Structure 1
Amino acid sequence: MRFFTSIIFVLILAAVPLQGQVLTNKSQFTEADTLRGSLRAEREYDVLKYNLQVKVVPEEKFISGYNGISFKAEEDLPVMQVDLFRNMRVDSIIFRGKRMDFKRRHNAVFIDLVPQVEKNAIDSVLFYYSGNPIVAKNAPWDGGFLFEKDQQGNPWIAVAVQGTGASLWYPSKDHQSDEPEEALIGIAVPNDLMNVSNGRFHGKEILDDGYTRWNWKVNNPINNYNIVVNIGNYVHFKDRFRHLDLDYYVLPYNLEKAKKQFEEVKFMMNCFYEKFGAYPFEEDGFKLVETPYLGMEHQSAVAYGNQYQMGYLGRNLSGTGVGLKWDFIIIHESGHEWFGNSITAKDIADMWIHEGFTTYSEAVYIECRWGKQEAVNYLKGIRNNIANSTKIIGTYGVNSEGSGDMYYKGANLLNTIRSIYNDDDLWWKILKDYTETNRHKIITTQTTEDFFNTAIKYDLQPVFEQYLRHAALPELQFKQEKGSILYKWKADVEGFDMPVDVTIEGKELRLYPTEKWQKLEQQVNSPEAVQVQEDEFYIKRQNLKQA
């Protein structure tokens, strides 16, 4: 019966996309990848502010407008790279009141700044553009706009571009290492529609052409891919958690469902405030916005499309009952506010910093509400989604995000490290210190490794190295030889060393295997008598045949 259930579960998962970003899994890279992924001389500027003003014409699937990009030159800047997909038209680029010459290569625009901007000087360009942006076929698993209709026939428009790139629809420095410190977002839409973007609402303006501009302001640093439009016939209702404003924008026929479903936000916030620290963007508030796609972690305007169901569209991703006790999209996408939006990976090769920690936040939420054992069961259940065929970390400098195992393997790595700590009070303290110390920072995997490593005497570096930079799990091997039980690690990392907890005759104890065979002090008849705590440690266990 168990075998049959597992097979059915795996078949269900095979039909369900499990990631919310575009994963290319490329091994060969082009000049376009380098232009997008590397920090070249033409990108030696720090974006200070975006002033994005765009008109959206639903029936033509057309957008037009400009982005005012304020920046500080980090070196002398004679040529400036701004990214915009090649299918979008560059109408003009204004610098100090004059039109500038430019060249296009792939999805990059190179602007000749005349005169050049001197090092440490602050300046700005106005980048006017227009066109029909790419339309997503299966958002959010491919990037682009969605021009849909709601159940009442009203236009329902949104955009999701993580992985594909924000430059799909607006000019930007499209690299995670640089975020504007603030953003103004003004979106003009037909008068009978509303636009909801990131940050705080700053009023609307009735224009002369049957359009209304909805103005929003973001007061915190924001990832490029998080800046969005959500256009529809929305209704708005409010709530509050402590000092945090909770704003919800939903379609009118789903209002009562939403009022009930979104009560979970306060349970979540209570948990995450305790475990991760205060919501990182209180100045901008927290929003859930109903979207025509499943969901995305758009900062302070989280996209919600889980159809007011528990689980993942009513499905149970972990194969455990606990997965159907909560709304997956509310918890996962909101978890990204701490991991991904507040703490951001400098290069998308390190995206496990976003996805591994956020997937772990699902288990944290479960533990807050239903206890540690349910959380551990969940983490073990989601291992069914791990391939262990490619390393988690991608290739740096070429816009390569690495393996999809960043989600579930990343979460189980964190649970394994918690088990190595063997001190839950210390674990929760360090996890909260990590989120608060790195609040609104752009970091690397090495930053993360060092933070969790310095908290304990045991060296975690070989553990991070094996799980993040190699595909295979470490294998704990046992064998029986001359009446004794021997054990050791088999791993890709030279000198791999990691403690592991086992149970022998009902007694739990900790072993310290290395790459060399060690003799088990306890007398047992066979390797099978040693039960590895595989709920707590995500490893492979192998009993070798007797020599």
Structure 2
Amino acid sequence: MTHLKPVATLSKVLFFGIFFLSQQHATAQFFSKEKNYTRKDSLRGALRPERNDYDVLRYDLNIKVDPVEKFISGYNDITFKVLENTTKIQLDLFENMKVDSILYHGKAVAYKRDYDAVFLYFDRPLQKNTKEKLRFYYSGKPIAAKNAPWDGGFVWKKDEKGKDWIAVAVQGTGASLWYPVKDHQTDEPDEGATIKVAVPNGLMNVSNGRFTGKEDLKNGYTRWDWEVKSPINNYDITVNIGDYVHFGERYKDLDLDFYVLSYNLEKAKEHFQEVKPMMDCFQAKFGVYPFAEDSYKLVETPYLGMEHQSAVAYGNKYKNGYAGTDISESGVGILFDYITIHESGHEWFGNSITSKDIADMWIHEAFTTYSETVFVECNFGYEKAMAYINGQANRVMNDRPIIGDYNVNHEGSIDMYFKGALMLNTLRNVINDDAKWWKLLLDYSNTYRHKIIDTETVIQFFNTHSKRNLTPIFDQYLRHNKIPELEIKTTKEGFEYRWLTDVPNFSMPVEINIGKKIVRLEPTNAVQTYTTKKSDPVTLVKEKFYIKFIQK
């Protein structure tokens, strides 16, 4: 998912400012330096015995969606392994949704609601290392999104022909907005999921994974059945309901499937050809598509986009750029469809490699935003790639740390996107060996394929594989507002230079132009000297390093 920042010229402020203001309600946590956390926050964001004592193995959803009443009803079968003896576990379902009943071995389970948490109490202890299953019946009118995907909820719209067009997007807000789930990123259903959704006859539901069949329920509804075999993020499980038609093909041992509104079929067939060079690039740089057994799908949606695993939401209206604009202002961003590339990049970074806590969502967004630049370099060359990524610098706010607060369901600054990507481009040039850099990215993606990790894991991997201590660099970009500042003071013999940083003992190489010569320096926080002709101008090699250059 992507957030835009207002830019500095009047016309752009008018356009992007309106766009940005429309997002503020949904992303209010991004704009507050301090937040008074409540029990509700910790119930959603923290791990306690009621969550740690069991591991979800699979979800089997079976629901009915009523577009007229904007109402859903049904159940979720939750299969799990008991990790510690317990009589109490926590599931999650937004408090506006009704718990109809919870059955375990056919008998009702006692429960207590605490905000969006649902605590289940068992008559007898669940035994360690046993495999258990319960059925959670529920119903209600799920929260409707006002401005998806920036706020979570269902989207209830009509297509151009007046037919119902319905979807859901809940990243950050939580999957428990619309179905009962252990709503924490540390626990994905290891054995996958089934999503069975009944919708009015004449409409189709498209969910994650592979289509396994449909059934006319003889009550004006048809149920559409989908199966996911890979582990999947809770917020990635989705429904897409509309007058869809399907096309697709087998491309280099990977099934590419597309579900679009019927009247957009021919347009989509041409526009989505871009997926093929994208797959060639991403599989070469990041490894084999992580969910091949579930296929790759793009599904047309009534909102801009979302990285729903194996069912990527696409709503960019078959335009290049971001809603027809170039977010980099370099002329490069209009050469490709931002939503197709960005949201598909999440299949590797976010869906395959997932952060344990949403405070570490930069693990999703920085790498995925950087994947756009990788795509540009694969298809349009290095110079355009550098123009594209450096053009994003004017969207960085440096307002607060990229890493959020842990255990309270709190994301960090939206700088996790553009600043995070610029940090990775900087690291590429710190390593200063493209063969090593591309191998590092490939090894990173393969090593943590289908795994849930944290910031420390990422840093340690990069340190080990680069054979360099990159920890201070990561810390400065991720844990502090400011970017590194390179201070250069002119002297009679040349100049003095040093890093100004929040992180102590900071060291990072950088390249500067001295006259017509490129010089690689190894500044630290200590003042160092460089002898040169006083007349030689000193400038930064800007395309390689995202820093602040201070010359005195």
Tell me the TM-score normalized by structure 2: 0.95
Partner of 1:383: 393
Aligned amino acid, residue 423 of structure 1: D
Aligned residue in 2 for 1:307 = 317
Instruction: Say yes or no: does 1:14 pair with 2:24.
Output: no
Deviations 1:512-536 (A, max 9, x none): 111111101333337xx11111211
Count of residues paired in the alignment:
539
Deviation at 1:123, TM superposition (A): 0.4
Q: Work out which of the residue numbers 130, 140, 143 in structure 2 matches 1:131.
A: 140
* Corresponding residue of 1:490: 500
Residue 321 of structure 1 aligns to a residue whose secondary structure is coil
Residues 218-242 of structure 1 deviation map (CA, whole Å, 9 limit, x = unaligned): 0000000000000001111112321
Unaligned runs of 5+ in 2: 1-6
Match of residue 453 from structure 1: 463
Alignment partners' CA distance in 1, 2:277 and 2:542: 30
Establish whether residue 373 from structure 1 lines up as the match of residue 383 from structure 2.
yes
Identity %: 57
> Helix, strand or coil: the match of 1:411?
helix
Is 1:34–2:42 an aligned residue pair?
yes
Contact 2:440/2:466 (<8 A) preserved: no
Equivalent residue number for residue 97 of structure 2: 88
Are the structure 2 counterparts of residues 264 and 20 from structure 1 closer, same or farther at C-alpha, using a change threshold of 3 Å? farther
Alpha-carbon distance in structure 2 between the residues aligned to 1:385 and 1:118: 52
Partners of 2:492 and 2:534 within 8 A in 1? no
Cα distance in 1, alignment partners of residues 359 and 321 from structure 2: 29
2:110 pairs with 1:101: yes
Q: Secondary structure at the match of 1:16?
A: helix
**Is the contact made by 2:494 and 2:532 (CA closer than 8 Å) also made in structure 1?**
no
Superimposed CA distance per residue, residues 263-321 of structure 1 (whole angstroms, 9 cap, x where no aligned partner): 00001001101111110000000111000000000000000000000101111100011
Q: Distance in 2 between matches of 1:276 and 1:118?
A: 41
Q: Which amino acid aligns with 1:43?
A: R
- AA aligned to 1:38 is A
The answer to whether the aligner puts 1:431 opposite 2:434 as a matched pair is no
Give the distance between the partners of 1:222 and 1:507, measured in 2 at CA.
51
Q: Distance in 1 between matches of 2:128 and 2:526?
A: 55
Amino acid at match of 1:371: G
Structure 2 counterpart of 1:248, from 232, 246, 258: 258
Q: Deviations over 1:478-519 (max 9, x none)?
A: 112344410101000011111101111211121011111110
1:73 Cα deviation after fit: 1.4
Q: What secondary structure does 2:519 align onto?
A: strand
CA contact (8 A) 1:140 1:294 kept: yes
- Residues 7 and 371 of structure 1: CA distance in aligned 2, closer, same or farther (over 3 Å): farther
Distance across 1 between alignment mates of 2:467 and 2:145: 49
Cross-structure match for 1:283: 293
Give the counterpart letter for 1:116 in structure 2: P
Describe the shift of the 1:73–1:5 C-alpha distance in structure 2 as closer, same or farther (beyond 3 A). Answer: closer
Partner of 1:538: 546
- 1:357 aligned onto 2:367: yes
**Structure 2 CA distance for aligned equivalents of residues 7 and 449 of structure 1:** 40
Task: Give the 3 Å change call, closer, same or farther, for CA 407–345 of structure 1 in structure 2.
Answer: same
> 1:387 and 1:536 mapped to 2: Cα distance?
20
What TM-score, normalized by structure 1, do the two folds share? 0.96
Distance 1:328 1:46, change over 3 A: same
Query: Would the alpha carbon gap of residues 450 and 7 (structure 1) be closer, same or farther in structure 2, given more than 3 Å must change?
Result: farther
Q: 1:230 to 1:389 in 2, by over 3 A?
A: same
| Gaps in structure 1 of 5+ consecutive residues | none
Q: 1:153 aligns with which of 162, 165, 176?
A: 162
Counterpart of 2:15 in structure 1: which amino acid?
I
Tell whether the 8 Å contact from 2:357 to 2:409 is kept in structure 1 after alignment.
yes
Q: CA deviation at 1:166?
A: 0.2
Match of 1:115 among 103, 109, 124: 124
- Check conservation: 2:59, 2:193, Cα contact below 8 A: yes
CA contact (8 A) 1:194 1:233 kept: yes
- Partners of 1:456 and 1:69 lie apart in 2 by 42
Compute the displacement of 1:132 (Å): 0.4
One-letter amino acid matched to 2:429: S
Judge conservation of contact 1:19–1:404 (CA < 8 Å) in 2: no
Check whether the contact 2:472–2:506 (CA below 8 A) recurs between aligned residues: yes
8 Å Cα contact 1:20/1:295 also seen in 2: no
* Aligned mate of 2:196, from 166, 179, 186: 186
- Shift of residue 252, structure 1, vs aligned partner: 1.1
Contact 2:493 2:531 in 1 (8 A): no
Structure 2 residue identity aligned to 1:201 = F
- Decide whether the 8 Å contact of 1:94 with 1:125 is kept in 2: yes
Distance 1:6 1:371, change over 3 A: farther
Secondary structure of 2:412's counterpart equals coil
Aligned to 1:465: 475
Instruction: Describe the SS at the equivalent of 1:495.
Output: coil
Q: Residue 404 of structure 2: which of 379, 391, 394 is its match?
A: 394
**1:20: how far off?**
13
SS at match of 2:437: helix
Letter in 1 for 2:540: V
Structure 1 CA distance, aligned partners of 2:38 and 2:396? 28
RMSD of the TM alignment (CA)?
1.6
Output the CA distance in 2 between the equivalents of 1:20 and 1:286: 32
Aligned-residue offset at 1:22: 5.1
- The corresponding residue for 1:169 is 178
Is 1:50 the counterpart of 2:53? The answer is no
Alignment match, 2:489: 479
Task: Encode CA deviations 1:374-421: one digit per residue, 9 max, x unaligned.
Answer: 111111111111100100000111101111000000000000000001
